Amino acid sequence: MKKVMNKKEPLWTLNFVILLISNLLLFIGFYMLLTTLPSYIFIKGGNASDVGMITTILIVPAIFIRPFAGIALETVSKKLFLGIGAAICFVAIGSFNFASTIFAIMLIRFVHGFGWGISTTTYGTIASDLVPRSRRGEGLGYFSSAGTIAMSLGPTLGIMLMNDMGFSALFAVATSSTLLAIILLYFIKAPKMGEDVTGEETQGLTSRLMERAALVPSLLALLLGFTYGGITSFITLFGLEVGIDNVGWFFTINSIFILVTRSIAGRIFDKRGHFWLIVPGAVLGFLGVLTLSYVESLGLLIISAIVYGVGFGTVQPTLLAWAINSAAPARRGAANATFFSAFDIGIGAGSMILSHVGERMGYGMMYRISSVTMIGLLVFYLIFRNRERG
């Protein structure tokens, strides 16, 4: 009897593995464009403001659709809904090759944002359903690693294809990766709607759009996203400013350490809670971005990538697991939507605001300013924790 009680609930089920691989392929297609679309915009006659806008214009529709996606996931087939979102991404990515103006690129990216918002919210919700509650921190940490691996492979592969074979090959590979993600969905058996959904329909629309129980970790994710948006949007331009040719090493090294950290952080969360992760993670995130702002050599770039990778890899999955655990089972879709909407708002705000700072003051100073956001995250968390304990 004691052995049965101590036995861990299964995590690596076939459904979970297929979902993780599908998520990985969708993210690879996404990240291949994240670092190459800025160059595509410059070729089409755009400027630095347009580069900042290309991130924001994806995030705005994603933020808009996520809350409604959270509601839809309470009543419709999650697998079908995920297929619709991924299909929108597939069509949008395949259309970039035919865009001849900045307006056309922006319009396609806007449509892409709806598919991205639906897909990422639904992937996260299905993963939350498949992972046992007793191993949720660990399980979501592993699941989030798909995005981390894609963040390592996608930008590097995208830049290589862009430089060696051109944008047509780049868009073809990104589209193919997304198509494979859609095909894998056929083999997933998503959990059916349970009886715990009953009664949610009686709530008002406003309360259903947002999961209040997940607000605190989501607001902290917004601050994390602000800094992250500045890194992903302008690291290429920063490399040109300081004379480092292959800044793609930042993504590669950063992703490796995020990947390693996530699995460890997930186990600590399940056993000890969020305090022992968010405090050191926020400090390391601050130091990582601050170090990045002073980079003048490849060696220091790698050090900043390691430090930020450990910080981000500790904080982000911890906040996500906290948000999911705070919600009732029927509200996991809304909790995912609330969390990722806040994270996306942070990324969009970071891209827009920091683009003006970078143009006027240089990208090194821009990163110094954005690093303060991590201190803000730490301060707000400690205030919340003190009030909760008091």
Fold (CATH) for 11-189+208-389: Growth Hormone; Chain: A; (1.20.1250)
**What's the pLDDT score for residue 193?**
55
User: Where do the domains of the chain lie?
Assistant: 11-189+208-389
pLDDT computed for residue 208 by the predictor: 67
pLDDT digits (tens, 9 = 90+) for 250-301: 888 988 898 889 878 888 998 888 999 999 999 999 999 999 999 999 999 9
Q: Which residue has the tokens 């699995």?
A: 263
Residue 202's Cα: distance from chain center in Å?
A: 32
Residue with tokens 């979501």: 140
Task: With CA atoms as reference, report the closest residue to 376 among 228, 232, 227, 231.
Answer: 227
The tens-digit pLDDT sequence of the chain (390 residues) is 444 445 677 888 899 999 999 999 999 999 899 878 888 888 888 777 787 788 778 888 988 898 888 888 878 888 999 999 999 999 999 999 998 899 999 999 999 999 999 999 899 889 988 888 788 888 888 888 888 788 778 887 888 898 889 999 999 999 999 999 999 999 988 766 544 444 444 455 566 678 888 999 999 999 999 999 889 878 878 988 999 877 878 888 988 898 889 878 888 998 888 999 999 999 999 999 999 999 999 999 999 999 999 999 999 989 998 998 888 887 888 888 889 889 988 988 888 889 889 989 999 999 999 999 999 999 999 999 998 876
Contacts of 243 (CB under 8 A, 6+ apart): 296
At residue 236, the pLDDT reads 78
- The conformational region for residue 276 under phi > 0 = left, psi -120 to 50 = alpha, else beta, is alpha
The predicted structure's pLDDT at residue 2: 45
Residue 74 token pair: 């309470």
Say which residue the tokens 């859609």 belong to.
Answer: 182
- Could you list the beta-strand ranges (E) of 233-390: none
Spatial contact of 38 and 236, defined as CB atoms under 8 Å apart: yes
Pairwise CA distance, residues 361 & 364, whole Å = 8
Q: Alpha helix locations (H) across 1-135?
A: 2-6, 14-34, 37-43, 48-72, 78-95, 102-130
Q: Please say whether the beta carbons of 224 and 315 come within 8 A.
A: yes
Q: pLDDT digits over 99-129, tens only?
A: 889 999 999 999 999 999 999 989 988 998 8
In this structure, are residues 70 and 337 in contact, taking their beta carbons and an 8 Å threshold? yes
Residue 315 identity = V
Q: Is 166 left (phi over 0), alpha (psi -120 to 50) or beta?
A: left
